[in-house]
Amino acid sequence: MPRFVEPPGTPEDLVAVGYDGTTWDHAVLLARGQVTTGERMPSVELMPDGDPAWMPEGPSLDVDALIIDDPLTGRPLSGAQFLDRRLCTDGLLVVHRGACVYETYRNGMLPGDRHVNHSTTKTLTSMLVGIAVGEGVIDVDTPMADLIPELAEIPAWSQITLQHVLDMASGLDVEEHYEDPGSMYWRYADAVGYYEKDDTRPRQGVLGFAVTDLTHLIEPPGSRFNYASYLTNLIPIAVGNAYGIDPLALLEERIYQHLGAEAPALLNVDDHGRGIVEGQLNLTLRDFTRWAWPFRDDGRALTGDPVIPPAWIEETLRASESRRAAFQRSDYVDSFPGPHTQYHNQAWILDPNAGVMAMLGIHGQFCYLDLPRDLMIVGYSSYPDQTHPLMGASMFALWDAVTRAVEHG
């Protein structure tokens, strides 16, 4: 079973530089805040099993020496300048043809640091659904109200299936605007405990927030992509209920213990012990790569263990005109350059026809997968804003430069 870890609190000597449990995500402090979530939030550790599985080393790719067109100035920058100045990189790892060809740690991050995954966790967590579907334990077309009893008394949820939640197309009245202090997002952040407070009473938590705030249907489910992190936390609860097993134990037993991980994963939980899986999974850069590995190897982990059914990967990448149309109706259409982008099974499918997908998180966390080229680019960053058009453009520029380099290398 996962091991519970109490938060020890933020070291008092950091107050002198303005750092505490309420300021950790300020731009100048973020590089520390993202590798220390366990100081301020209760957590569980998912334990590895056996010796670490190490990635083979491949022909070296000197990303620092690449020349990358800067989307801000229009001028060429070296890869080193680009990583530091445009993406505020903490760590970057490139896998080509199953071998590590580049690995770097910057901005104070060390290889053993467990960096928080913001929203890249969504895709990693959805692997549980793939396992459950493959074993016939769950059907993605089941209404969420049938899977989670607490939702059964809310009329809106009778029409929302697990697949609608997986695709962020619930039809609910939800929004996620980080720049707006009145946004639903900031009520949620308080409900799950992203920031320290003096009040010791338990907060609502992930399920309590869903029951009180995710209650109004404003459009037919499936008709429009409408990103809402709060939905993701319900996915492992639904899967755990279907199995009759604690969902955090499922994450450990069915996924993490098969990856050949080098360190325990740290998953922040709410005041009720439920996992905040929409974006609070802390992993070393290599363990993030290991968890994403099955997507590039037909569902197998780096250890060779089968983790998710290949059919789940095929389905995730399957082109769908209805999903593409739902994405085209969303607020995100201008942020992605291609006309084929869709969101499916908690993953950004950048081009289903080309086999290209990504896991994305605020402040610049990502895993880019180009399956035909067998290329995986995994990154942690401390970008000053949660999201920004320049950050997105810089990610695409990096991915393009690395792709061209491995093709011509």
Residue 51 confidence (pLDDT) = 95
Which DSSP category does 193 fall into? T
* Burial class of residue 288 in the structure, from the number of CB atoms within 10 Å of its CB (0-12 exposed, 13-18 middle, 19+ buried): buried
- pTM (2 decimals)? 0.97
Q: What is the CATH number of the domain that holds 384?
A: 3.40.710.10
Residue 370 confidence (pLDDT) = 98
Q: Tell me how many degrees the CA angle 280-214-5 measures, rounded to the nearest 5.
A: 25
Residue 33 confidence (pLDDT) = 97
Distance CA 14, CA 328 (A): 45
381: closest CA among 109, 89, 105? Answer: 89
Residue 196 confidence (pLDDT) = 85
H helices within 34-119, ranges in order? 37-40, 79-81
- Is the Cβ–Cβ distance between 7 and 88 less than 8 Å? no
- Is the Cβ–Cβ distance between 381 and 364 less than 8 Å? yes
Domain of 403 in residue numbering reads as 3-408
Q: Cα–Cα distances in Å, from 165 out to 35, 119, 182?
A: 29, 14, 24
* Sheet order of strands, 89-96 included: 99-105, 89-96, 375-381, 365-370, 356-361, 347-351, 342-344
Residue 337 confidence (pLDDT) = 78
Q: If you compute the radius of gyration of the chain from its CA atoms, what whole number of angstroms results?
A: 20
Q: In order along the chain (409 residues), what is the average pLDDT of each group of 10 residues? A: 92 95 96 96 96 94 98 98 98 98 98 98 98 98 98 96 98 94 93 86 93 97 97 98 97 98 98 96 98 98 98 97 96 88 98 97 97 98 96 97 91
Facing residues of 3 across strands? 45
> Would you give the distance in Å from CA 16 to the centre of its chain?
32
H helices within 138-293, ranges in order? 144-147, 162-166, 184-192, 205-213, 234-243, 247-250, 285-292
What total of structural domains would you count in the chain?
1
- Is the Cβ–Cβ distance between 116 and 282 less than 8 Å? yes
- Is the Cβ–Cβ distance between 358 and 368 less than 8 Å? yes
